[in-house]
């Protein structure tokens, strides 16, 4: 399931903006759980558990799905693909 994403409380305009924000300060990027069934991470990218992969859609998972991507945390490092 794809999740929503916020940068400092606003929807990002592009995947590039997300990549830059994660590198600059992952505490400014938040993942939004969108599944009706639960079992999705909901919170700050900096607090992601290790060996986690998040699939996101933006700018808005409900109304505008213009770009897709993944946030991966492996060995304590976060990257956007």
Task: Spell out the domain ranges in the chain.
Answer: 4-80
pLDDT at 14: 97
What average pLDDT score do residues 18-37 get?
Answer: 95
21 has a pLDDT exceeding 80: yes
Share of the chain above pLDDT 70, in %: 100
Location of structure tokens 């490092």:
77
Rounded mean pLDDT of 21-45? 94
Quick one: DSSP state of residue 39? -
- Phi/psi of residue 59, nearest 5 degrees: -75, -25
Evaluate if residue 1 carries a pLDDT over 90. Answer: no
pLDDT tens for residues 45-81? 999 999 999 999 999 999 999 999 999 999 999 999 9
Q: Classify residue 76 as left (phi > 0), alpha (psi -120 to 50) or beta.
A: left
């Amino acid at each position: 399931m794809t999740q929503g994403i916020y940068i400092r409380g606003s929807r990002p305009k592009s995947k590039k903006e997300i990549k830059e924000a994660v590198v600059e300060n992952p505490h400014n990027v938040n993942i939004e759980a969108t599944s009706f069934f639960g079992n999705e991470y909901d919170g700050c990218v900096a607090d992601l558990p290790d060996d986690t992969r998040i699939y996101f859609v933006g700018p808005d998972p409900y109304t505008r799905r213009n770009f897709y991507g993944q946030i991966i945390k492996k060995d304590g490092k976060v990257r956007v693909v």
